[in-house]
Amino acid sequence: MFEPFRSVMLKITLVFLAVTLASCGRGDQESASTGGATGSDAASAQIGGQVGNTAPAFTLARIGGGDLSLVDLRGKVVLVDFWATWCPPCRMAMPHLQELSQEYADQLVVVGISMDQGGARVVEPFVAKEQLTFEVVLQDNKVVQQFGGIMSIPTTFLIDQDGRIVGKWIGYQTKAVYEGAIKKALSS
């Protein structure tokens, strides 16, 4: 008599767990987009957090000191990842981002934008423990809004050499997903 109920509850629990592990936050899951800009060139694209738009310019405080400016990275492909230390899918993605930053060091810059409310006192120990060597900066609300309001993390953007967003993913992705889009951006 209770077996069908138990089976339904198990299925509901598994679905909930799968959705929770896919992303942290209150936004809806979005599928990856890796198309090009809709305009004829980056200058004609709008600024914002959608594929085809020019990525919003930002300057943010680096972990360990100094500032990082997106404008200074023009000419390289940039992978920008909004994440937090408390987010399980974000932590699962960190080894992928580290590997990509090392394997494509001459052509790719990985930038992790921490969404942690505790700031550097929370993020610095995490970065040291995980031995992350890619750029890690602290977010501010203005940048979050310029990228379209980050509702779930991780949210990751791939920006081409001209500063145009060519890929966007919400939720955990495998290294292969990112790498395929990076290779495409590097070859164009």
| Residue 156 β-bridge partners | 81, 169
As a whole number of angstroms, the distance between CA 176 and CA 160 comes to: 18
As a whole number of angstroms, the distance between CA 84 and CA 25 comes to: 11
Torsion of the alpha carbons at 55, 136, 22 and 171, rounded to the nearest 10: 10
Catalytic pick from 63, 80, 90, 165?
90
Burial (0-12, 13-18, 19+ Cβ within 10 Å), 112: buried
Active site (annotated) includes residue 90: yes
Active site (annotated) includes residue 87: yes
Catalytic pick from 60, 87, 97, 170?
87
Torsion of the alpha carbons at 14, 95, 85 and 57, rounded to the nearest 10: -110
Question: Residue 33 CB: number of other CB atoms within 10 A?
Answer: 16
Annotated catalytic sites, by residue? 87, 90
